[in-house]
Chains A and B, each alone.
Chain A
Amino acid sequence: MTTTALRVHDLRVTAASPDGPSYPVDGVSLHVGQGEILGIAGESGSGKSLTLKAILGLLPPGLTATGTLQLASGDGELAPYQSHQVRGAGVGMVFQEPMTALNPTMRAGDLVALAARLHGRLSRRASRHRAVELLRQVGVPDAERRAKAWPHQLSGGLRQRVMIAAALAAQPRVLLCDEPTTALDVTVQHQILRLLRWLADEHGTGMIFVSHDLPVIAQLCDRIAVMYAGRFVETGYTRDVLTHPRHPYTAALLRAAPSVDQRGEQLAGISGQPPDARAFPAGCRFRPRCPLARDDCAHAPYEIQPVAAEHGSACIHHADLEVRTA
């Protein structure tokens, strides 16, 4: 395990409403090492995207975040930070929809150059050179020419590369990836995943990779955190968690994705809908959809218990699950 690049402790996102507050992200703690990719898996509405946005302070109006955020400084020491200080500096973000995340009225190269200039106080000329260099680095072919293209003239994969190039302009320690491959077709998706893995391995960039797509996470991530109803329900090394899931929800997710080698369908296989943050069930939040639910699940306290080395589950009956899967 390398040094920790980002640590989040007890992150909570509060949504104010006339009916009282609700907590779409409710006590999330995580850490990412240098060059490590942490996957967060869960259905839409589980709070995984909001977790990323809260880390960068990009929550939509009406939502506020509490908790401790720490980022490694130059000497590797973790220090608490204000989110506006790390934007365009220590932490970068890649968004889900390359169609909408690029400013339609800004040429690709200008966006990357702007990011470079915001970070490095470069001259206009130097930032333009840097932009082309960054575009080339993330695998944009014919980068000189593509730098002058408008976003709508680029394919989805190229747009996502532009987004990554812009995020890398600040040489961030951590890159937050919000389903960056969901909107892309399979071959392009594969290329982008390879690029991200390469960035982590070669540049030591730590990453949080959010996706509902377990096969993608299995392919890319070192560790995984499974998120449900605003909380992590299972954490551990990807291989451990996916081969020996110790939470019924993880098991259900795996069931929905028939094979890790194939690109899975959406999580259509799981019954019912994830609960709304305004009406999370008491006790274990997965209980209403859980095939193994028992009476005591209704008052289960939330706690991630160690089930093996570096492997934790929030299910109070995780031991039974092990018996059944054995």
Chain B
Amino acid sequence: MSGRFLFVGKRLILAVPLLLGVVLLVFLLLQITPGDPARQIVGLRASEADVAQVRDQLGLDDSVFSQYARYLGGVVQGDLGFSYKSRQPVADMVAARLPVSGWLVISGLVVSLMITIPLGVWAAIQRDRAGDHITRGVSLLGIAMPSFWVGLMLILLVALPTGWFPVGGFGDTFGQRLNAIVLPAVTLGIAMAPIQIRSLRASIIRCLGSDYVAAGRALGASGFLLVRRFVLRNAASSMVTLAAVQTSFLLFTMVVLETTFGLPGLGQGMVMAAVQRDLPAVQGYTLVFALTVVLVYLLADVVNAVLDPRVEIRG
């Protein structure tokens, strides 16, 4: 067990340069974005002196290195700067929007697992028979559908005729919010499921075809016992890895769907900031998303370390 803790510790240490790289990249957004941020803040009419003053305040005339050090120092303390548009601290904007995104992602993942697990197992068991072909056809279709379009079609075919769900927006009471998250979550689940299904199918088939499952069958294990003792834990670790790899796509789909359904989450915030050319806000959201991905990778490593006794030698 100590070997595994060592492995996780090593991963934590390895994550540090990656995190620094993420912050650096986000910081570099400022450098590659054309235009003078100070001019953007004070407006076109302001005098050169005002611009110079703001530049001085923001430290834009310092060396790139000290600017990065200052930005990094702020990030470590939870200071993401101030929005050009609302003049609010970006960290506050992120904090206000985080719960909405969190609920959407969690409920979307629940929906996707409800679709994935039965269909993936069914396809694997039915390999090359009707159930497999149906499932594969459906997932091909699912991959080809843009998530935002699926969302609009659900509004058109479900929300509008029944009136059960709002067409957009979030609402104020808990009940309204719960209601508002249903269609976005279903859409997110539909978007995530096809790749998960294919991957679950492949990993179950790989496990079923493995020598150790054959050996288990030779020892007399069959049916549910065989799946539980020989397949599940082995298939699970590859699913966890997939979940980590999918995070980036998940976050992007979340961004798109929050805009589609008018949910005030991080994704909608980022799109609005991008459209309004609000640099600190874009930086802040990018940073939060990037940190999420790094943390999910780390978490996946930890979960795999628990699931798979071999990771200590792989690390």
- A positions within 8 Å CB-CB of B: 53, 56, 58, 60-61, 84, 87-89, 92-93, 95, 97, 100-106, 111, 114-115, 118-119, 150, 152, 163, 166-167, 169-170
Q: Mark B155-196, 1 if CB is under 8 A from A, else 0.
A: 000000000000000000000000000000000000000000
Shortest Cβ distance from residue A88 to the other chain B in the assembled complex, whole angstroms: 2
- Of all chain A residues, which has the CB nearest B230? A103
A58 touches B309 (CB 8 A): no
Q: Which residues of A contact B234 (CB under 8 A)?
A: 103-105
Chain A contacts of B210 at CB under 8 A? 100
Are B309's CB and A150's CB within 8 A? Answer: yes
Instruction: Known contacts A101-B212, A104-B308, A106-B229; decide if A118 and B221 are in contact (CB<8 Å).
Output: yes
Structural contact, B211 and A97, CB atoms closer than 8 A:
yes
Output the nearest chain A residue to B309 by Cβ-Cβ distance.
Answer: A150
* Alpha-carbon separation in the docked complex, A268 to B163 (Å): 75
The answer to whether B275 has its CB under 8 Å from any CB of chain A is no
Contact of B214 among A58, A152, A167 (CB under 8 A): A58
4 shortest A-B CB distances, which residue pairs?
A: A88-B220, A93-B218, A100-B211, A103-B212
Return 27 A-B CB contacts under 8 Å, by A number: A53-B214, A58-B214, A60-B209, A61-B127, A61-B128, A84-B222, A87-B218, A87-B220, A88-B218, A88-B219, A88-B221, A95-B218, A97-B211, A100-B211, A101-B212, A101-B215, A102-B212, A104-B310, A105-B308, A106-B230, A114-B219, A118-B225, A119-B220, A152-B309, A167-B219, A169-B219, A170-B219
Q: In the complex, are the beta carbons of A163 and B221 less than 8 A apart?
A: no
Taking a contact as CB atoms closer than 8 A, the residue among B127, B212, B230, B310 that contacts A100 in the complex is: B212
Whether A115 pairs with B220 at a CB distance below 8 angstroms is yes
Closest to A97 in B: B211
Residue in A84, A103, A152, A170 whose beta carbon sits within 8 Å of that of B229 in the complex? A103
Residue of B nearest to A52 (CB): B218
Give the complex CA separation of A100 and B214 in angstroms. Answer: 10
Tell me the bound Cα distance from A85 to B234 in angstroms.
26
Q: How far is the CB of A135 from chain B (nearest CB, A)?
A: 15
CB distance B212 to A152 under 8 Å? no
Check: B217 CB closer than 8 A to any chain A CB: yes
> How many angstroms between the C-alpha atoms of A119 and B218 in the bound complex?
12
B228-245 residues with Cβ-Cβ distance < 8 A to A are: 229-230, 233-234
In the complex, what residues of A have CB within 8 A of residue B219's CB? 87-88, 92, 111, 114-115, 118, 166-167, 169-170
Interface pair A104/B220, CB less than 8 Å apart: no
State the B residues within 8 Å of A (CB).
127-128, 209-222, 225, 229-230, 233-234, 307-310, 313
What are the residues of chain B within 8 A of A170 when measuring CB–CB? 219-220
Considering the chains assembled together, what is the distance between the CA atoms of A312 and B22 in angstroms?
A: 74
CB neighbours of A58 from chain B (8 A): 214, 217-218
- Cβ contacts under 8 Å, B307 to chain A: 105
Separation of A166 and B221 alpha carbons in the complex (Å): 12
Q: Shortest Cβ distance from B207 into chain A, in angstroms?
A: 10
Q: Which residue of A lies closest to B216 (CB)?
A: A103
Query: Residue on A with the closest CB to B127?
Result: A61
Instruction: Kindly state the separation between the CA atoms of A111 and B212 in the bound complex, as whole angstroms.
Output: 11
- CB contact under 8 A between A114 and B214, given known A88-B221, A166-B219: no
CB <8 Å contact, A104 and B309: yes
A152 contacts across to B, CB distance below 8 A: 309-310, 313
With A88-B220, A89-B220 known, 13 other A-B pairs at CB within 8 A are A56-B218, A58-B218, A60-B209, A61-B127, A93-B215, A97-B211, A103-B212, A103-B229, A104-B212, A104-B234, A105-B309, A118-B219, A166-B215
Q: State whether A163 touches B215 (Cβ < 8 A).
A: yes
Determine the chain A residues whose CB is within 8 A of the CB of B212 once the complex forms. Answer: 100-104
CB distance from A65 to the nearest CB of B (A): 15
The CB with the most chain A CB atoms within 10 A, among B221, B222, B308, is that of B221
Q: In the complex, are the beta carbons of B211 and A114 less than 8 A apart?
A: no
Question: Are B215 and A95 in touch, CB under 8 angstroms?
Answer: yes
> Chain A residues near B225 (CB, 8 Å)?
118
Instruction: A166 to B230: give the CA distance in the assembly, Å.
Output: 15
- Name the residue of chain B whose CB is nearest to the CB of A85: B220
In the assembly, what is the distance between CA of A120 and CA of B120, in Å?
A: 34
Complex-state Cα separation, A152 to B3, whole angstroms: 13
B229 touches A114 (CB 8 A): yes
Q: How far is the CB of A152 from chain B (nearest CB, A)?
A: 5
Contact A92 B222 (CB under 8 A): no
Residues of B within 8 A of A101 (CB): 211-212, 214-215
Cα distance, A104 to B225, chains bound together (Å): 16
Q: Could you tell me the distance between the alpha carbons of A152 and B4 in the complex, rounded to whole angstroms?
A: 14
- When chains A and B are docked, how far (Å) is the Cα of A53 from the Cα of B211? 12
- Partner among A87, A104, A111 whose Cβ is within 8 Å of the Cβ of B217: A87
Give bound CA distance, A95 to B217, whole Å.
12
Shortest CB distance B223–A (Å): 10
Chain B residues with CB below 8 A from A53, complex form: 214
A60 to B217, CA, bound (A): 12
* A239: min CB distance to chain B, Å: 31
Q: Which residues of B contact A169 (CB under 8 A)?
A: 219
